[in-house]
Amino acid sequence: MKAARLYEYDPAMNVQLSIEDVAPPTINAADEVVVKVGAAGLCRTDLHIIEGVWKDIMDVEGSLLPYIMGHENAGWVEDVGSNVKSVKPGDAVIVHPHRSCGICLNCRYGHDMYCDHGQFPGLGLDGGFAEYFLTNESSLIKLNTNVTPLDVAPMADAGITAYRAAKRAAGLVYPGAYVTVLGVGGLGHIAIQCLKHLCGARVIAVDREPGAQALARDLGADVVLDGGPDLIEQIKDITGGGSQVVIDFVGELGVENICWKLLRQGGELIVVGYGGQIEVPTVELVVNEIKIGGSLVGDYTELVELMELNADGLVKMHYTEYSLDNINAAIDDFKNRKFTGRGVIVP
Ligand SMILES: [Zn+2]
Ligand SMILES: [Zn+2]
């Protein structure tokens, strides 16, 4: 099968993925499923993998390369293990990115992302930038009729990650309160739509790119700002003292040390983007009682909920399509923010 493989980490990001013919995956366990990839979203995490940000976390020995990235996958069931009951070859599916075991205590509580035996195809083992990839039955959600894998593939990670953060924000606000979304890329544009359908708060979207600002307006953001040097003043003015919730989809490039300054007293920062380091004086935490926490992807049931919002036409993925042969061009365009929404790779 055709696949794009990463051969080396490169902090300067000049390395190209190699398009090759490799052996397709085969079923090794009774619960496994081979999925024929319909589409795979291109994620900032893929850029961070190439840069080597994940090397010390998952590839200390440096023995994982070469491998196939791609963790935002949807497609059709190709082959199933002997114990698989809920799907059959030909079914259209979206794939929760974490292969959770379903047996450990965390899984029993529904915390798929905390699974004691979880695996993440596309991070350290082969993923979906290929014609086929291997996962397990418990990660699959059948698509609603009339939904194609191409319509939804990035929902598998970009979508649920944004949904989980937006759902948490929705539980913290009331009509008239403000939620600020920093970064209107693949995740931010989903978060805006989710917030508009989950709660009555007003949404402030911040992005320096005019295309992203226009998309935010189209999707119903109440206020759109360009993230200039007076962002803190602007937000304090608009909100009368600060935002009740800030969702930071950037987490680096200096945004990580502006985001918490946008909160009002008692406000909460939800960190989703990563790469930088937050420095907050402890006195700020005390005097303003602000809360800071991260949000990690999302649970299987959250992906189910998001697919229902999508089926009802309430949350849609905006994407630009690239063929697998053009994946290096897609990565370049992503780095240079040449498209709005998500880049999606089609094998
Ligand atoms: Zn992702
Ligand atoms: Zn588990």
Coil/strand/helix, residue 202: strand
Expressed in angstroms and rounded, the spacing between residue 40 Cα and the centre of ligand 1 is: 10
- Cα 291 to ligand 2 centroid, rounded to whole Å: 29
Report whether pLDDT(110) > 90.
yes
**159-294 CATH fold:** Rossmann fold (3.40.50)
Q: Average pLDDT in the 309-329 region?
A: 96
CA-CA distances (angstroms) from residue 86 to 142, 207, 307?
9, 42, 18
Cα-to-centroid distance, 185 and ligand 2 (Å): 31
Confidence at 168, pLDDT banded by 50, 70, 90? very high
For ligand 2, the distance from its centroid to the CA atom of residue 138, given in whole angstroms, is: 10
Beta carbons within 8 Å of 190's beta carbon, 6+ residues apart: 155, 158, 159, 162, 163, 166, 315, 317
Domain extents in the chain = 2-156+298-346, 159-294
d(CA 110, ligand 2 centre) in Å: 9
- Asked whether the predicted pLDDT for residue 60 surpasses 80, the reply is no
pLDDT at site 181: 98
Query: How far is ligand 2, taken at its centre, from the CA of residue 119, in Å?
Result: 10
Summarised one tens digit per residue, pLDDT across range 218-246 is: 999 999 999 999 999 999 999 999 999 99
pLDDT at 58: 82
For position 57, what pLDDT does the model report?
80
pLDDT of residue 113: 93
Proximal ligand: closest to the CA of 186: 1
CB 17 within 8 A of CB 4: yes
Q: For the chain, what is the mean pLDDT?
A: 95
**274-295 pLDDT, tens per residue?**
889 999 999 999 999 999 999 9
Helix, strand, coil tally for the chain in percent (to 5): 30, 25, 45
Give 31 Cα–ligand 2 centroid separation in angstroms: 14
Neighbours of 316 (CB within 10 A): 17
Give kind and range of the element (H or E) at residue 223: strand 223-225
Label residue 341 by pLDDT band (50, 70, 90).
confident
Q: pLDDT digits over 175-187, tens only?
A: 999 999 999 999 9
pLDDT of residue 137: 96
Helix, strand, or coil (residue 221): coil
> Which residues have C-beta within 8 Å of that of residue 317, sequence separation ≥ 6?
151, 152, 153, 154, 155, 158, 159, 190, 310, 341, 342
Give the number of residues written for the chain.
347
Q: What per-residue confidence (pLDDT) applies to 59?
A: 81
| Residues 195 and 249 sit within 8 Å (Cβ to Cβ) | no
* pLDDT for residue 64 is more than 90: no
Residue 313: Cβ-neighbour burial (10 angstroms; 0-12, 13-18, 19+):
exposed
Determine the pLDDT at residue 313. 93
Is residue 277 classed exposed, middle or buried when 0-12, 13-18 and 19+ CB atoms within 10 A define those classes?
A: exposed
How does residue 300 score in pLDDT terms, banded at 50, 70 and 90? very high
Predicted confidence (pLDDT) at residue 62 exceeds the cutoff of 80: no
Omega before residue 11 within 30° of 0, cis: no
State pLDDT tens for residues 19-59. Answer: 999 999 999 999 999 999 999 999 999 999 999 988 888 88
pLDDT tops 90 at residue 70: yes
CA 222: distance to chain centroid?
Answer: 23
Q: What pLDDT, on the 0 to 100 scale, is given for residue 53?
A: 85
Class of domain 2-156+298-346: alpha beta
Give the pLDDT confidence of 118-154 residue by residue, as tens digits.
999 999 899 999 999 999 999 999 999 889 999 999 9
User: Ligand 1 centroid to 312 CA: how many Å?
Assistant: 24
101 CA from centroid of ligand 2 (Å): 4
Task: In whole angstroms, give the CA distance from residue 19 to residue 327.
Answer: 9
Question: Token pair 């990660």 is at which residue?
Answer: 139
| Kind of pairing between the strands at 223-225 and 202-206 | parallel
Please count the other Cβ atoms lying within 10 Å of the Cβ belonging to residue 27: 16
Is a pLDDT exceeding 90 seen at residue 106?
yes
pLDDT average, residue stretch 98-105: 93
Measured in Å, residue 107 CA sits from the centre of ligand 2 at 4
**Residues with Cβ–ion distance below 5 A, ligand 1:** 43, 45, 157
Nearest alpha carbon to residue 333 among 341, 97, 274: 341
pLDDT band at 63 (very low <50, low <70, confident <90, very high): confident
pLDDT at res. 54: 85
What pLDDT score was predicted for residue 23?
A: 97
Ligand at shortest distance from the CA of 154: 1
